[in-house]
Amino acid sequence: MTLGQAARLIDARGIDKTYATQAGDDVVALARVSFDVARGEFVTVVGPSGCGKSTLLKILAGILRRSSGELTLGGRPVDGPSRDIGVVFQAPVLLPWRTVMQNVLLPIDIQRQPRRAHEERARALVRMVGLDGFEDKYPGELSGGMQQRVGIARALVHDPSLLLMDEPFGALDAMTRESMNLELLRIWGESRKTVMLVTHSIPEAVFLADRVIVMSPRPGRISEIIDVDLPRPRSLEMINSAPFGVHVAAIRRHFQSLGALDA
């Protein structure tokens, strides 16, 4: 299943999500969340911890049911997961009995495609995330950041047109993080994927995005969507440019006014 041809890929109208908890009291994780994402767009999401970012991403991925609201993907209502999506969770969640390569090939196995046909692409992705030489290692032999990078390669192996990434670089050091940012922008630029990426880092959100969705906590709602009009392709020097600083400062101020300073 592919995601259709309309220019607007994601269309979310008034999404609510209420969790029923063990204690019996309900937690409102998302309230009236509306936004859309154009095909080929790079959107980032920032917001304080617990404001519902992961919840939103899981609803988009079709693995968590929304309590109410309308959500379409390529014009079709979302009622389950799609083959054309690649996801990265906050935690790496690798299978410990599979090697790095076997973990990267998991979506291929699930979609019952021949591994042979995708092995080359998988190898290239493992190299891209800086893990060549580790193809046959097991997750227990990797650091947390390395495991997270395996998860990123896994999300790309079936060449999905939509990437949903939940703090994919959270476990990485600043240097690796910057190079992963550039790699992700390169892949996005070459393959015209649509990316929705959650991050705790405001500079990262600005650096990557066409638009930044700023969320406020309890109940999680969108408080602002900021257009980032920095030129593409982006380079690391831009981080020191004045327009970049203006965007970052605007988002920081926004958080401060909410009483929740983040990152």
Partner 1 sequence: MSARGSTTRRTEIGLSILLFIAFVGGWEAAVRVFAVPAIVVPAPSAVMRALVAGLASGELVTHFWVTFAEVILGFVAGAGCGFAIGVMVGLFPLLERTVYPYVVAFQTLPKVAIAPIIVIWFGYGMTSKVVITATIAFFPVLANTIVGLRAVPREQVELMVAFTASRWQVFMMARLPQALPYVFVGLDIAIVLSVIGAIVGEFVGAQAGLGYLILQRNFHMDMAGVFAILIILSLMGIGLHLLVNAIQRRVVFWIDGAHDKVMGA
Binding site for ligand ATP (CB under 6 A): 19, 21, 27, 29, 47, 49-55, 90
249 binds partner 1 (CB under 8 A): no
From the CB of 58, what's the least distance to ligand ATP, in Å? 8
Looking at 13, 20, 65, 81, which residue binds partner 1 (CB under 8 A)? Answer: 81
Burial group, residue 183, by CB count within 10 angstroms (0-12, 13-18, 19+): middle
Q: Which two tokens stand for residue 195?
A: 């990316």
Cα gap 241→128, rounded to integer Å: 28
Map the footprint of partner 1 across residues 155-184, applying CB under 8 A: 158
Partners of 45 in the β-ladder: 198, 213
Write out the H or E segment, with its range, that includes residue 33.
Answer: strand 26-38
Task: Answer yes or no whether residue 109 interacts with partner 1 by CB under 8 A.
Answer: yes
Alpha-carbon dihedral sign for residues 57, 62, 66, 68:
positive
Q: Which is nearer to Mg ion, 46 or 251 (CB)?
A: 46
Alpha carbon distance 249, 125 (integer Å): 35
Binding partner of residue 102 among Mg ion, ligand ATP, partner 1, none, CB under 5 to 8 Å per kind? none
Nearer to ligand ATP, 26 or 109 (CB): 26
Q: What angle do CA 161, 166, 169 make, to 5 degrees?
A: 100
From Mg ion, partner 1, ligand ATP, none, interface partner of 236 (C-beta below 5 to 8 A by class): none
Query: What would the two tokens of residue 61 be?
Result: 């991925």
Please choose which of ligand ATP, Mg ion, partner 1, none residue 29 contacts, taking the beta carbon within 5 to 8 angstroms, the exact cut-off set by kind: ligand ATP
CB of 111 vs partner 1, minimal distance in Å: 7
Question: Does residue 54 bind Mg ion (CB under 5 A)?
Answer: yes
Nearest CA-CA partner of 221 in 30, 36, 70, 35: 30
Examine residue 217 and tell whether it contacts Mg ion (CB under 5 A).
no
Q: Which of 62, 130, 145, 189 binds partner 1 (CB under 8 A)?
A: 62
**β-strand partners of 211:** 43, 227
Residue 136 sits in the site that holds partner 1 (CB under 8 A): no
Owner of token pair 């969507």: 225
Report residue 55 CA to chain centroid gap: 12
Binding part of the chain for Mg ion, among 53-61, 95-103, 144-152, 182-190 by CB under 5 A, reads 53-61
User: How many CB atoms within 10 Å of residue 16?
Assistant: 17
Could you tell me the smallest distance in angstroms from the CB atom of residue 90 to Mg ion? Answer: 5
Indicate whether 93 belongs to the interface with partner 1 (CB under 8 A).
yes
Q: How far is the CB of 228 from partner 1 (least distance, A)?
A: 28
In whole angstroms, how close is the CB of 125 to partner 1 at the nearest point?
15
